[in-house]
């Protein structure tokens, strides 16, 4: 016989947590509207801007991942305090997602105006923006669950993990740009994305998500020392780069085996084959999740 342990007070605070989550999602959409400086309702239902919808959806999903982590991490025995912790982590998640989007715009993909491209309906840019946002949230989640308690030290640890995430994604993006230039007569990957190459966007998005799971593996190996700020940061960065490299190598092997006989450069870069790019993405993310599972 199934027996559930609950009380009216627990149900009341459970309802409060749901309300907080809904409020945070509303705030996330409001913040996104501020970033784009347009009427989001008109973009979504009036202009049917698919790229805009993908970007908004990724922001909401990323925030949901952070809220999910905050709900799991809430450490107090007091339900009201747990709800406040979830709200504060949620606001912090919104800020980090916004900063991550800014870093992606100004540092990682700096050759074009991402906001303008999304408003013009560039699906490729919307997909890459979405992948970057969700990848950042996945890494922030792993750091939040790695920390202990609700203190200034855990906040610093989350910021350190966020910095590591942006650093590794910058490195991976530059490596992919270099590979693309070598295979395409020095053409720019960013310029091709601006031209609307969806297959390349799917491939690159898979790499970013794979990086997120690879970086998350560091939380399974490192011991959390609250006051060891520098060593936490250095260790996270070292392990993250190590597992990212491992994921790239294993992903390359998986593609060689599963997609044997298929010229990936020709299919994705030249013929814009979204189907092949989707398989590449699945293999990259799948290998990264396997690595994460093996070290858990």
Structure tokens at 128: 């890459």
Reply yes or no on whether the pLDDT at 185 is more than 90: no
Helix (H, G, I), strand (E, B) or coil at 224: coil
Domain assignment present for residue 101? The answer is: yes
Domain assignment present for residue 1? The answer is: no
Structure tokens at 68: 């999910």
Q: What is the pTM of this model?
A: 0.88
pLDDT, position 151: 76
Q: How far apart are CA 157 and CA 140, in angstroms?
A: 10
Domain assignment present for residue 170? The answer is: yes
Reply yes or no on whether the pLDDT at 283 is more than 90: yes
- Where residue 113 falls (left for φ over 0; alpha for ψ -120 to 50; beta otherwise) is beta
Domain assignment present for residue 4? The answer is: no
Of 52-56, 93-97, 177-181, minimum mean pLDDT range: 93-97
Who has greater pLDDT, 150 or 30?
30
Reply yes or no on whether the pLDDT at 75 is more than 60: no
Q: How many domains does the chain have?
A: 1
Cα 281 to chain centroid, rounded: 14
Domain assignment present for residue 2? The answer is: no
Domain boundaries, position 154: 10-295
Domain assignment present for residue 47? The answer is: yes
Q: Cβ atoms within 10 A of the Cβ of 146, count?
A: 21
Domain assignment present for residue 57? The answer is: yes
Domain assignment present for residue 208? The answer is: yes
Q: How far apart are CA 2 and CA 165, in angstroms?
A: 43
pLDDT, position 131: 92
């Amino acid at each position: 016989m199934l027996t559930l342990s609950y009380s009216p007070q627990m149900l009341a605070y459970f309802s409060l947590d749901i309300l907080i989550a809904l409020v945070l999602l509303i705030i996330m959409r409001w913040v996104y509207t501020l970033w784009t400086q347009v009427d989001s309702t008109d973009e979504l239902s009036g202009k049917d801007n698919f790229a805009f919808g993908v970007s908004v959806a990724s922001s909401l999903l990323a925030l949901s991942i952070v809220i999910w982590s905050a709900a799991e991490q809430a450490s107090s025995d007091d339900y009201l305090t747990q709800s406040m912790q979830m709200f504060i982590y949620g606001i912090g998640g919104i800020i980090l997602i916004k900063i991550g989007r800014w870093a992606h715009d100004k540092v990682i993909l700096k050759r074009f105006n991402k906001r303008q491209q999304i408003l013009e309906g560039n699906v490729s840019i919307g997909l890459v923006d979405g992948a970057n946002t969700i990848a950042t949230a996945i890494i922030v989640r792993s750091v939040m669950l790695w920390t202990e308690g609700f203190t200034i030290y855990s906040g610093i640890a989350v910021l350190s993990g966020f910095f590591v995430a942006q650093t590794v994604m910058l490195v991976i993006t530059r490596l992919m740009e270099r590979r693309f230039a070598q295979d395409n007569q020095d053409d720019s990957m960013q310029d091709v994305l601006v031209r609307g190459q969806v297959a390349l966007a799917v491939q690159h998005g898979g790499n970013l998500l794979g990086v997120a799971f690879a970086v998350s593996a560091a939380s399974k190996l490192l011991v959390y020392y609250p006051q060891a700020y520098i060593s936490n940061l250095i260790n996270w960065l070292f392990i993250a780069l190590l597992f990212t490299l491992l994921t790239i190598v294993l992903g390359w092997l998986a593609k060689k085996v599963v997609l044997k006989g298929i010229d990936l450069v020709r299919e994705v870069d030249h013929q814009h084959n979204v189907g092949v790019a989707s398989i590449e993405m699945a293999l990259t993310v799948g290998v990264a999740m396997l690595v994460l599972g093996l070290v858990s």
